[in-house]
Structure 1
Amino acid sequence: MPDFRLALKMLFRDLRAGELSLLGVALLLAVTSLSSVGFFADRVQQSLRRDATQLMGGDLLVSADAPLPPAWRAEAQRRGLQAANTVNFSSMVSTGELAQLSGAKFVESGYPLRGRVEIAPAMGQPGVVAGRIPAPGEAWVEERLLSALNVKVGDTLSLGNLQLRVGALITFESDRGNNFFSFIPRIMVNAADLPASGLIQEGSRVRYRLQLAGSPKAVADYERWLKPQIGAGQQLESLENVRPEIRGNLERIQHFLQLAGMLSVVLAAVAIGLSARRYLQRHLDGCAAMRCFGAQRSQLLGLFLTEFTVFGLAVALLGCALGFVVQLGIAALASSLIQTNLPLPSWLPVVHGLLVALVLVLGFIAPQLLHMTRVPPIHVLRREWGGMQGSVLGAWAAGILALLALFLWMAGDIKLGAWVALGFAAACAVFALIARLALGALGALRHRGQLFGWALPWGLRYGLAAMHRRLAASVVQSVALGLALMAMLLLGLVSGDLMRGWQRGLRPDAPNQFLLNIQTDQRDSLQAYFRTHNLPPIELLPMIRGRLVELRGQPVTPGDYPEERARNLLDREFNLSQGSVLQEGNRVVAGTWHGESRAPVFSMEEGVGKTLGIRLGDAVSFDVAGQRVSGTVGSIRKLDWDSMRVNFFFSAAPGVLDNLPTSWITSFRLPPGQGATLSALVAAFPNLTVIDVAAIIAQVQDLSARLIRVVQAVFGFALLAGAVVLWSALRATHDERAHELSVLRTLGASNAQLRAAMLSEFLVLGVLASVLACLGALATGQLLAIKVFDIEYRPDWLALVFYVWLAVLAVLALGWLGVRGLLRRTVVDTLRAGA
């Protein structure tokens, strides 16, 4: 207890003296950033678990891309389970003048088995639980659809061959397929009207769902009975895998937020290490004096560890409290994306925040404390201090390993965390090497006293000499400043360059409309319609739906692949095509295009080959409506997906896919102001699905903008952490500069000379750190462009130069702000201050 009270007294003394200010701010930012992300993610996960059955519409959901066997429903009812079928697909809904792509859901009595549908009698009215489904001939629609078509409740809409009266507005639908991320408005119709609609044709993309509900035991028994019968294109969804598309999108947001939190922790670790180094230097004398009065090394280490542990936990609790407040703001920003009430978070993020604080404190302060408590008593008189010992180096290694473990835990993915940790370590090593070489070259330059015949000013020569004299500290400062500035460049400049690169890929003359579900007997009449209505000529391409079932002579299933993307590709049918002409935007990168050859060969898109491990010359087999089609991969294509033209993963030689169920697809550009023409087209061909790509791109861009606002709320902490690193790096050698300035002033140096020397040093530091940051940001931007965005990266060089010089000025300003008070000190004041 006496030692604990003494540790608290030391803590209060250091707080009053401002010794822990920067360290505390860095730790506070790291914990606040991570805990805010943790609270938000915890609330989302609890919401998913809470609303799981409502998101599915039942306790168990069976879905497929073809009608489900009637025996499955009969067996469920025999076991005492409730059952309800739904059919979901996209289609055009129109009036006499306007048309809108919508998500159509056909439901039967009893839907939904879990959750609810709320409807309102008119726009602006509150919703009430429906308690029924739409009557035959009636449609329930979302308000967005009414606004897009300029109709109201009671009016009539066309859906395929159906004429439906709008009976109510849908205000809430608990089992909506895209409950969190929705792009197109919804229309709900009675399943009895489906046969008369004429919308389900060959090649139509339809999802059939069977919702089941009952006692947990009955549901579990039925699931065990059904699992062995699940085949290709069929899927079981339960509480364990509820709404994978929602979970995937939410996890993507959380990963972005976690990466922002990881960046904050990296910068905070750098700032804490720099602040702890300065703390060590300022407390050496006090520690040596305590050794003179009989204090043991273990006692001193215990005192300081107690002080910093109490300090770290207190700051962590404050950071968790601030993180809770910040996550309220994040949830508010995401309210337009997450359409559900989030429950209160658990205490788990608080535990995580405390662990982060302890890892940062013990990992990056304890090594300095070990070193400090080994100071010999003679240091009071002779300033002798033993060098770095094995136990201290071991403590540093333990701290770095603890940070690596923290990365892996925060990322939730070993591969992602390892790449982040390795990338951080590589940046530190490269920056340190470049800084060491540059400072060595500048140190040699000071001896020459001139550059290209130009005499170096005294201030610059002295600044270079001072940096070379403190070479290790100067390298550390340069690396820390470079990391902080690189983070700021990445957040403020490179991300904008990447977005502009993506926008450049969107050609202004690219098609903005897709026509799907064109039947073979409609081709001539559709092309004639385009000619008579002065629309651009269209190229109709065959589209055959087939599932990859065999590779290199061996059966292939989704379970053969560990990656989710590969499993998803094999779990659905591919859109296959055939033809002799290589489409625009396609480029053969391996093999030879088949042309007019009628050999059994396929041309494969490069990306799908990499995902599924398919190589040139491999044999592939597809199941097309129960028929087996086989061939070899004769060429590999690279596609320009940004061209917005029709593209296929696999395209066969002419004749390979003849006599198979075929629909046709095309794309074209509709000039602005011709919406009436598009509505007339839908009225003339009601079975067609028209996808307005321009509208979808606008919706995706709007969603991305909202996601960016959510992520930027956490990125702000990274920027603040970067500013703390800047300040910490410049303050790291503050006391050494104070001592040097007092010596120079004693030798007769004027304030003007001292000012020139310090500004020269900060200028060199700023230029060196800015160059390192620029190189790191460019390399990272290029890597993201190639590996993530698959775009051509063209940095804005003018803006980059401007930001680099702005960074140099920022280092100059912050550096001068930190040392200008030293010029007003007398030599006696400096010596009394212990500098």
Structure 2
Amino acid sequence: MEWTLAWRLFKRELKQGQLLLIILALTLAVLSVTGLARVSERLQVAINGQASKFIAADRIINSPVPVDETILKQAQILGLKLSRNLQFNSMVYSGDAFQLVTVRAVDNAYPLKGKIELKNGATDTMPTKGTLWYESRLGALLDQPKTVELGNSQFILGAVINRLPDAGFNIFASAPLVLMRLDDVAATGVIQPGSRVTYLYQFAGNSPQLQAFETYAKPLLSSSQRWVDTQSGDSPIASAVKRAERFLLLSSLMGIALACAAIGIAAQRYCQRHYDVVAMVKTFGASAKQIRILFGTHLLLVTVAGVVFGLLGGLLLDATITLALPSDIAAYAAPLGRPLMLGIATGFISAFMFSAYPLLRLLDIPPLRVLQRQLEGSSIGMWLHLSLSLIAMGLLGWLYSRSLALTLTVIASVVLLGLMLGLMGMLLIRMGQTVGMKTSNPFALALAGLRRRAKQNALQLVGFSSALVLLLTILALRQDLLNEWQKQLPENAPNYFLVNIAPEEVKPLQHFLQQHEINATDIYPVIRGRLNAINGEEVITPEQQDQGQRGRLGISRELNLTWRNAVPPNNQILEGHFNQAKDDVSVESGVAERLGIALGDRLSFVIDNQNVTVKVASIRSVQWETMQPNFFMIFTEQALSPFAYTSMASFHLNDGQKKVVLALIRQFPTVSIIDVGAIIAQLKGIISQVSLALTLVLILVVMASALVMVAQTEAGMATRQRELAVLRTFGAPGRLLKWATALEFALLGCIAGLLAAVVTEFSIWILKTQVFDLRVYAHWLWWWGAPASGALLVALLGLWRCRRLLNKSCSDLLRLE
């Protein structure tokens, strides 16, 4: 009987529109979360798919020794594509001429992502047996031979390589590159026991395959073997991709927070509307069990309807946005299961967790309310409401982002936001208590309305401010990320590097660059050295550690060292002072953290078979993505001047200035020129796709913010209807009421905007320092722009929602009541 009554009441209230708001809130909540998840995952797949071309694969195992074959067999069992590569240095000979080269020996599966770019265009083929593909400068260095000797074998010089997809940005690798077949290596005899060889195992597959393989393989790798992906730091776009994915996750968490707020507001409004119904049903003898079944059934039916409509809307939203995406992004398919499951979880978890407290208050309504409508039952359990709300947000946030740090950051911001907005909102609204009730002045009437509905307006203020805070946060982070990437890759970013500049060629080269009006970076001296000890403790390589040797872990290769009298561009001192004493050295923060180096430590280097000991005077951060020369260690000139050195620089050339390169080669034949223009173009393509992703996600968050504002405005309509009826009865003209309503909403919006500016500045500071590692600065425009925009937006929204009530006569309003 209870179920039948619940169904009948559900149909009646559905026809009357009583349940439409909560269904709409649930539908739009699930739609926004599903849409955000679907679009975000598609964009993440696309961004990582494009980024994987920089490493010619989805994942790489980089090892100084052959990897255990059982690991590779597991990759094949999981269905991953595999390519085996070797990389080593060797000498090639042509007659009496010889040259050190970097050899890449690859199998037929290489590259798994991207293409090899030859002088005559991209290709999918590989060198034939007994043939080397080579960089053009090798031919110039050896006087354009047709064949060369490598070890015990002779090779034909075939196609000229412009670029390999995973060539990277290592401009210090000045040795020309040659590409050969992997099965030609054995005949050369160049690889002997103890030879320094890098084994590269490249893998490609879909996300589940890669995740399963990573879970299996990573624990089996030694400390000298590295797991490489687009976010490992080996890729030049690692920082951009990491920040973009964090932004997408944060935006989705913001969308979940907004959706939960909309559902909570709608559920509270629904329960408030049924206080009289519960009181009346209790008067007629209904038991607590019957009432629970009645409204529990309503909640379940509403949740199911909202989830179904939301999932359909989310898929439609994804399809619509996909049509607007560039074809190279839309071609990537993201898994559908997780967005659907997240949408379902969002609907059910938020509906029940955020509706628990309003339902408890509804069930606690006393029968005496039939006679005394001001009775609303017990308010005990607010702590339960807050706890359930935070648990729901935390659970949904973790399910979506799978990042505990990001989820806790958002929850902490939400808690602080709620406390500040609640306290400040009540304080500002209570300031209107001394204003009279005169109906001749619309401004005074608006302030009086704020005073009469102080508690309700405080809740509305929280809703409006929350939406504005989240919107401003996403807008600011999007703009700051784009500005950060634009600074890293401006229009005149260096696209040529000059290396192996002899000391006597520095001044003539500077004159050449000035003569041709080329905007170049400073010329940096480069000296090779190996870190030997830290505070007298000898350092060992990861390979030596695997062999059981004891010592402080260091770096397994020689470092490129330089000297400077001032802090280089794109470097920032984090601790200490830049080199002042002769034996000072400045250390990059990442290396300092990895090796446990602190200010005052003594570092010993072996340079040209001589020991050099220096003191760490500063720790600095470096923007590695700027396409300019950067170094781990920067010395003073006095410390390195006794050693022989070469120099390097970078500069930018427009397409119309390419002839300058030929002139530079003729005048400075010993200087190596490295063209990275193609890499910059590919990197800019990735950044443009990330920019599109940020814009699309911003649009979705704007939609979710509008949902919260609409739901919050709807929450006060019943009280406003009664007040309008009373004011109409006492003769208040319609023009006065319209102005008073507009001003009341404008004041709410203005206060909400001011509070939003304050809280957003604090939230942005947390996110930039703890999550995104961005520069922190004040957004002064917000301090007047946010209140003005909030006043205009909320006033228009309030007038639009109240238009039907404001246009009705007194008798019509009383009949509605």
Q: What is the deviation of 1:368?
A: 0.7
Partner of 1:414: 404
Within a 5 Å distance, the mapping from 1:236-247 to structure 2 comes to: none
- What corresponds to 1:528 in structure 2? 508
Give the match for residue 753 of structure 2. Answer: 770
Letter in 1 for 2:278: C
User: Is the CA contact (8 Å cut-off) linking 2:218 and 2:227 kept in structure 1?
Assistant: no
3-state secondary structure, aligned to 1:365: helix
Task: Say whether residues 1:476 and 2:475 are aligned partners.
Answer: no
TM-aligned CA deviation for residue 404 of structure 1: 2.1
The verdict on how the C-alpha distance between 1:608 and 1:209 changes in structure 2, with shifts beyond 3 A counting, is closer
Does the alignment pair 1:820 with 2:814? Answer: no
For residues 622-701 of structure 1, what are the structure 2 equivalents within 5 Å? 630-636=613-619, 646-654=629-637, 656=639, 663-668=646-651, 673-682=656-665, 684-685=668-669, 688-690=672-674, 700-701=683-684
Matched, 1:284 2:275: yes
Contact 2:32 2:259 in 1 (8 A): no
CA contact (8 A) 1:487 1:719 kept: no
C-alpha distance in 2 between matches for 1:273 and 1:42: 27
1:476 to partner: Cα distance: 0.9
Q: CA deviation at 1:274?
A: 1.9
**Counterpart Cα distance in 1 of 2:522 and 2:642:** 20
| Aligned match of 2:563 | 579
* SS of structure 2 residue aligned to 1:291: helix
Identify if the C-alpha distance between structure 1 residues 419 and 286 changes in structure 2 by more than 3 Å, giving closer, same or farther.
same
Mapped to 2, the partners of 1:719 and 1:349 lie a distance apart of 20
The change in CA–CA distance for 1:602 and 1:410 in structure 2 (over 3 A counts) is: same
Partner of 2:307: 316
2:445 alignment partner in structure 1: 462
1:754 to 737, 744, 748: 737
Tell me whether 615-624 or 290-299 shows the greater mean CA deviation: 615-624
Q: Does residue 24 in structure 1 map to residue 15 in structure 2? A: no
- Match status 1:368 vs 2:358: yes
Following TM superposition, by how much is the alpha carbon of 1:617 offset from its aligned partner in structure 2, in angstroms?
Answer: 0.8
1:133 and 2:132 are equivalent in the alignment: no
Aligned with 1:390: secondary structure?
coil
Deviations 1:497-539 (A, max 9, x none): 674587579899x8835635416xx332464355357257985
Separation in structure 2 between the aligned mates of residue 645 and residue 806 of structure 1, nearest angstrom: 41
**Amino acid aligned to 1:133:** P
Whole-angstrom distance in 1 between the partners of 2:588 and 2:367: 72
Query: Is residue 2:392 matched to residue 1:402?
Result: yes
- Cα 1:392/1:811, change in 2 over 3 Å: closer
TM-aligned CA deviation for residue 231 of structure 1: 6.5
Query: 1:260-279 residue pairs with structure 2 within 5 A?
Result: 260-279=251-270
What is the CA–CA distance in structure 1 between the aligned matches of 2:294 and 2:710, rounded to whole Å? 28
Distance 2:554 2:240 in 1: 20
Q: Partner of 2:274: helix, strand, or coil?
A: helix
1:604 pairs, out of 587, 590, 594, with: 587
Moved more, 378-387 or 585-594: 585-594
Structure 1 position 480, deviation (Å):
0.9
User: Does the alignment pair 1:440 with 2:430?
Assistant: yes
Quote the residue 2:14 is aligned against: 15
Match of residue 108, structure 2, among 90, 106, 111: 111
The answer on whether the counterparts of 1:404 and 1:421 sit within 8 Å (CA) in structure 2 is yes
Task: Name the counterpart of 2:547.
Answer: none
Equivalents in 1 of 2:489, 2:160: separation in Å?
Answer: 39
**Paired residue for 2:695?**
712
For residue 277 of structure 1, what is the amino acid of its counterpart?
Q
Shift of residue 316, structure 1, vs aligned partner: 1.8
TM-score (norm 2): 0.74
SS at match of 1:270: helix
Q: How many angstroms apart in 2 are the aligned matches of 1:114 and 1:718?
A: 39
Tell me how large the CA RMSD over aligned residues is: 5.5
Whether contact under 8 Å (2:361, 2:378) holds in the other structure is yes
Other-structure match for 1:486: 469
Is the contact made by 1:594 and 1:653 (CA closer than 8 Å) also made in structure 2?
yes
In structure 2, what residue type is equivalent to 1:581? N
**Residue matched to 1:153:** none
CA spacing shift, 1:298–1:342, aligned 2, 3 Å: same
Deviations 1:363-402 (A, max 9, x none): 2122111111111122122225244343464244223222
Q: In the alignment, is the contact (CA less than 8 A) between 1:759 and 1:812 conserved in 2?
A: yes
Could you tell me whether the CA contact under 8 Å between 1:543 and 1:663 is conserved in 2?
yes
Does the C-alpha gap of structure 1 residues 266 and 550 become closer, same or farther in structure 2, counting only changes over 3 Å? farther
SS at match of 1:427: helix
**Given the alignment, which residue of 722, 735, 744 partners 1:739?**
722
Give the distance between the partners of 2:283 and 2:406, measured in 1 at CA: 50
Partners of 1:55 and 1:636 in 2: CA distance: 30
- Say which SS state the counterpart of residue 133 (structure 1) adopts: coil
The offset of 1:817, in angstroms, is 1.6
Q: What's the CA shift for 1:31?
A: 2.1
Aligned: 1:35 with 2:34:
yes
Deviation at 1:312, TM superposition (A): 1.4
**1:542-581 equivalent positions in 2, closer than 5 A:** 542-544=525-527, 551=534, 575-579=559-563, 581=565
**Change over 3 Å in CA distance of 1:457–1:650 after alignment to 2:** farther
CA distance in 2, matches of 1:282, 1:532: 81
| d(CA) in 1 for partners of 2:264, 2:227 | 51
Where 1:378 maps in the other structure, the secondary structure is helix
- Counterpart code for 1:385: L
Aligned in 2, Cα 1:210/1:496: closer, same or farther, shift over 3 Å?
closer
Pairwise CA distance, 1:6: 3.3
Q: Which residue of 1 aligns with 2:373?
A: 383
Mapped to 1, the partners of 2:599 and 2:681 lie a distance apart of 37
User: Quick check: 2:365–2:375 contact (8 Å CA) kept in 1?
Assistant: yes
Kindly state the Cα deviation for residue 158 of structure 1 after the two structures are TM-superposed. 6.5
Assess if the C-alpha contact under 8 Å between 2:23 and 2:305 holds in 1.
Answer: no
Which residue does the alignment assign to 1:199?
Answer: none
**Matched ranges for 1:139-150 at <5 A:** 139=133
Aligned residues, how many? 744
3-state DSSP of counterpart to 1:717: helix
Distance across 1 between alignment mates of 2:244 and 2:218: 36
**Conservation of the 8 A alpha-carbon contact between 1:160 and 1:687:** no
**Per the alignment, in what secondary structure is the counterpart of residue 363 of structure 1?**
helix
- In 2, distance between residues paired with 1:339 and 1:822? 46
% identity of equivalent residues: 23
Equivalent residue number for residue 292 of structure 2: 301
Provide the rounded CA distance (Å) in 1 between the counterparts of 2:542 and 2:290: 61
Deviation sequence 1:82-128 (CA, Å, 0-9, x none): 99534499xxxxxxxxxxxxxx9965474328969989999999x8x
Deviation at 1:818, TM superposition (A): 1.7
1:415-463 Cα distance to aligned partner (Å, 9 max, x none): 111011101111222122221221122323x1599xxxxxx96222222
**Whole-angstrom distance in 2 between the partners of 1:529 and 1:685:** 12
Deviates most, 360-369 or 684-693: 684-693
Is residue 491–residue 715 contact of structure 1 (8 Å, CA) maintained in 2? yes
- 2:812 maps to 829
The 3 A distance-change label for structure 1 pair 16 and 391 is: same
Counterpart contact for 2:236–2:625, Cα < 8 Å = no
Tell me which amino acid in the other structure corresponds to 1:523.
Answer: P
Match of 2:367, SS state, is coil
Does the CA contact (< 8 Å) of 1:378 and 1:384 recur in 2?
Answer: no
Cα deviation code 1:198-229 (max 9, x no counterpart): xxxxxxxx99444499xx9xxx9xx999978x
Is contact 2:83-2:111 (8 Å) kept? no
